Amino acid sequence: MEKTDLIVRFAGEGGQGVVTSAEGLAQVAAQVGYNVLTYATFPSQIMGGPTWTQTRISVDSVLSAGDKLDVLVAFNREAYDTHVGEIGIDGVIIYNSEEFELPDQINVLGMPVTQLAKSTGNPRAANMVIIGAIAHLVNMPQNYLNEFVTKRFTRGRTNDEQIISSNIEAMTLGREASAKTKIKLGTLAKADKSTAKQILVKGNEAISLGAVASGLNFYVGYPISPATTILVWMQQNLVAKEKFVYQVSSEIEAITALLGAGFAGRKAMTATAGPGLSLMSEGLGLGWMAEIPCVVVDVQRGGPATGLPTKTEQSDLLACFHPAHGDISIPVIAPGSVEECFYATVSAFNWAERYQGPVILMNEMSMAERAQNIPMPELGKLQVVNRSIYNGSNGYMRYAGDSVSPMPIPGHPGSYIANGSEHDPSGDTTHLASRHIEMTQRRFNKLKLLTNGTYESLNKEAPITIMPWGGTKGPSLEAYNLLAKQTTSLSWFYTMFLNPLPETLLTQLRKKELVIVPELNFMGQWSSILRSHGINAISITQYTGLPFKVEDLANRILDVVQSHEKRTVQT
Partner 1 sequence: MTLKNPEYDFKWCPGCGDFGVRRALEFAMKSRLQEKEIPLVNNVVVAGIGCSGNLVHLLEGEQPYGFHGIHGRTLPIALGVKMGQPNLNVVVVAGDGDFLSIGMEHIAPQAARNLDICAIIMDNAVYGLTKGQSSPTTLFGATTSSTPFGKLEEKLHPLELYLSYGVSFIASGFSSKPRDLAKLITAGMDHPGFAIVHIQSPCTTYNDTYEELKGSVKKGIPAQLWDLPDTHDPSDRDAAYAAIKSSGWPLGIIYQNTDRPAFHQQVDKMISSVDSKTIDQLVAKYII
Given 46, 104, 155, 241, the residue binding partner 1 (CB under 8 A)? 241
Main-chain phi, psi angles of 409, to 5 degrees: -115, 125
Given 16, 21, 31, 300, the residue binding partner 1 (CB under 8 A)? 31
SS (H, E, C) 50-93: EEEEEEEEECCCCCCCCCCEEEEEECCHHHHHHHHHHEEEEEEE
Q: Is 179 or 417 the residue whose CB approaches partner 1 more closely?
A: 417
H or E segment at 113? Answer: helix 113-118
When asked if residue 25 is in the footprint of partner 1 (CB under 8 A), the reply is no
When asked if residue 203 is in the footprint of partner 1 (CB under 8 A), the reply is no
H or E segment at 527? Answer: helix 525-532
Q: Which of 524, 399, 506, 523 is nearest to 452 (CA)?
A: 506
Which positions from 141 to 180 touch partner 1 by CB under 8 A, shown as an x/- string?
Answer: ----------------------------------------
- In angstroms, rounded to a whole number, what is the distance separating the alpha carbons of residues 73 and 124? 17
Q: Is 427 or 475 the residue whose CB approaches partner 1 more closely?
A: 427
When asked if residue 392 is in the footprint of partner 1 (CB under 8 A), the reply is no
DSSP state letters, 257-307: HHHHHHHTT--EEEEE-HHHHHHTHHHHHHHHHHT--EEEEEEE-B-STT-
When asked if residue 375 is in the footprint of partner 1 (CB under 8 A), the reply is no
When asked if residue 389 is in the footprint of partner 1 (CB under 8 A), the reply is no
Q: Is 227 or 324 the residue whose CB approaches partner 1 more closely?
A: 324
Q: Is 246 or 444 the residue whose CB approaches partner 1 more closely?
A: 246
Q: Is 328 or 529 the residue whose CB approaches partner 1 more closely?
A: 328
- In angstroms, rounded to a whole number, what is the distance separating the alpha carbons of residues 30 and 256? 41
138, 172, 174, 492, 553 from 142: Cα distances, Å: 11, 8, 12, 41, 38
Of 176-184, 209-217, 354-362, 555-563, the window that binds partner 1 (rule: CB under 8 A) is 209-217
Given 97, 119, 426, 445, the residue binding partner 1 (CB under 8 A)? 426
- In angstroms, rounded to a whole number, what is the distance separating the alpha carbons of residues 337 and 375? 13
When asked if residue 381 is in the footprint of partner 1 (CB under 8 A), the reply is no
When asked if residue 209 is in the footprint of partner 1 (CB under 8 A), the reply is yes
Strands (E), 222-259: 244-247
When asked if residue 429 is in the footprint of partner 1 (CB under 8 A), the reply is yes
Size of the site for partner 1 (CB under 8 A): 72
When asked if residue 269 is in the footprint of partner 1 (CB under 8 A), the reply is no
The bridge status of strand 497-499 relative to strand 332-333 is antiparallel
Least distance to partner 1, CB of residue 255, Å: 8
Which positions from 34 to 53 touch partner 1 by CB under 8 A, shown as an x/- string?
Answer: --------------------
Q: Is 422 or 552 the residue whose CB approaches partner 1 more closely?
A: 422
When asked if residue 416 is in the footprint of partner 1 (CB under 8 A), the reply is yes
Given 6, 18, 30, 517, the residue binding partner 1 (CB under 8 A)? 30
Is-contact 319 305, C-beta < 8 A?
A: no
Given 20, 68, 119, 246, the residue binding partner 1 (CB under 8 A)? 246
Given 102, 189, 213, 546, the residue binding partner 1 (CB under 8 A)? 213
Is-contact 483 393, C-beta < 8 A?
A: no
When asked if residue 435 is in the footprint of partner 1 (CB under 8 A), the reply is yes
Residue 555 burial by CB count (10 A; 0-12/13-18/19+): exposed, middle or buried?
Answer: middle
Cα four-point dihedral sign 516, 322, 364, 381: positive
According to CB under 8 A, which residues from 281 to 320 bind partner 1?
282-283, 285-286, 290
Q: Is 10 or 218 the residue whose CB approaches partner 1 more closely?
A: 218
- In angstroms, rounded to a whole number, what is the distance separating the alpha carbons of residues 475 and 59? 17
Least distance to partner 1, CB of residue 297, Å: 17
DSSP state letters, 387-405: --B--S-SS--TT-SSS--
Q: Is 94 or 145 the residue whose CB approaches partner 1 more closely?
A: 145
